[in-house]
Homo-oligomer: A and B are copies of this chain.
C-alpha cells in the first residue's frame, strides 16, 4: 500500500475530516481515530442496521478507534504520547481550538518536530471570517458554487451532496500525501502545517466561469441542464424516459445528425452554426425532441455511443447501484462488520495495478482499539487498566 507505515492521529468528526482520513487509510495509512467518550456524532446519524450507522461506516473504514476524555489532564497526556509517535495530525476544529486544548504549535513541536498538522476549517485559519461558524451549505453559498447551479432563470441552488465537505476532504488528503513524498530525505526540524478551507476549495473549482469573468467580465449565469457555450446539449425526453446528450463540438454535432438521419439540418440556415443554435435552443428542441421521443433511451444511447456521440442515462441512486458498469467497477462493495453484519458501502475510485486499495479493518466500534493502540504506543497494561477504570479511556469491551 502507498501509505503503509504512515501513522495518522485523526481528531476529526462528521464528514470533511473523516473523508480525508478515510482516503489516506484506504491508501494504506494507519489512521487512529481519537474520539470523545461519546464518539463521533455521525455514529448517531443516518439509517442503522444492527445498531450500526451505515453513514458512519461509509466514512470510517480502515481506521482504529480510541475513545479518550481529552478534557482530563491524563487523557490529554495520552493524546500527547500518541502524537509523539505519529507522522500526521488531522483536525477540523474551529481555528484556535487546538491552541485552547493546549496543543499549540510550540507544544506540538516539542512533542514531535516531524509532525505534519492538517487543519480543515470553513473559511481558513485567518482572515475576517475565520471565526464564523461553518457548514457545507454556507461554503456552497459563499464560494459562488450555488450561483452557477440551478435552472435558467431560477434561484441559486445548493448541491444535493455535501460537496464542499467532500472536496475539502480530497484537497486535504492530497496536501498531506504530497508532504509525505520525499519526507525521509527532506526531514526537517519543525512542525509543518497545512490549512485547507471549505470555501477556498470550492472557489478553486470555479473553472471557465471564473476565467471568463476575470478575463472579460462575462458574468456566469445559471443554465440548468443546457451548456452555457454549446447547443444542442442537455436532457432530452425519449419514448420511455430521458437521456443526457453532450455533442460538445461541431464534429460531434455532425455525428449526431448522421445517427438521426437528419443531415439536412447542416444546411438549415437558422441553425447552421453553434452560435445560432445557442440563440434558438427552443427551435433545436422543437426539431429534435419528436425524433428522440420516437424510440426508447436504450436505443438512443447505444446508437449515439456507437457513432461517438456522448450520451447516457440519468440514473437515480438505486439505479446507479444496479448498473452493470458500476457493479463491474465494484463501486458498491460488501464489508463484513462482525456483530453488525455485512455493510454495503461505496467502493474505491482509485484502481491501482499493484497493492490496490482494500478494506483491512471495518469501521470501528467506539474505543474498539483503545487498549491495543495505547499498548503499541508504549503504555503498560496496568496503566491502561487504570485509565479505563477511571474513565479517561473507554473501550467497547468494558461497556459491552
Contact = CB atoms under 8 A, between A and B. Distances in A.
Contacts of A48: 215
Given A314-B147, A351-B195, A203 B326 contact: yes
A216 interface: yes
Interface in A27-76: 27-28, 45-49, 53-55, 57-58
B148 A161 contact: yes
A9 interface: no
A178 B3 contact: yes
A182 to B, nearest CB: 7
Interface in A352-385: 352-354
Contacts of A102: none
A163 interface: yes
A166 B196 contact: no
Given A157-B150, A305-B132, A209 B163 contact: no
Q: Which of A46, A227, A313, A332 has the most CB of B within 10 A?
A: A46
A85 interface: no
Interface residues on A, range: 35 or more
Given A141-B244, A161-B209, A178-B27, A214 B332 contact: yes
A142 B197 CA distance: 29
A225 interface: yes
A309 interface: yes
Given A310-B135, A350-B171, A159 B149 contact: yes
B328 A193 contact: no
A246 B321 CA distance: 30
B175 A324 contact: no
A339 interface: no
Interface in A326-357: 326, 328-329, 331-332, 343-354
Contact of A138 (B146, B190, B312): B312
Interface string A148-169: 1111001111111111001100
Contacts of A261: none
Nearest to A156: B314
A267 interface: no
Q: Which of A178, A316, A321 has the most CB of B within 10 A?
A: A178
Nearest to A312: B138
A329 B124 CA distance: 8
A192 interface: yes
Contacts of A136: 246
A120 to B, nearest CB: 11
A283 to B, nearest CB: 21
Contact of A55 (B57, B212, B316): B212
A211 B135 contact: no
Interface in A1-22: 2-6, 15
Given A49-B215, A174-B174, A352 B193 contact: yes
Nearest to A52: B215
B317 A219 contact: yes
Contact of A141 (B132, B178, B315, B329): B315
Interface in A199-235: 199-201, 203-216, 218-220, 222-225, 227, 229, 233, 235
B349 A196 contact: yes
A278 interface: no
A42 B345 CA distance: 37
Contacts of A142: 244, 312-315, 320, 323, 325
Given A55-B208, A220-B160, A329-B197, A215 B316 contact: no
Given A140-B244, A142-B313, A196-B349, 5 more contacts: A2-B181, A132-B312, A133-B308, A146-B244, A200-B329
Across the A-B interface, give the 5 residue pairs with the lowest CB-CB distance, nearest first.
A148-B160, A127-B328, A141-B244, A2-B178, A54-B215
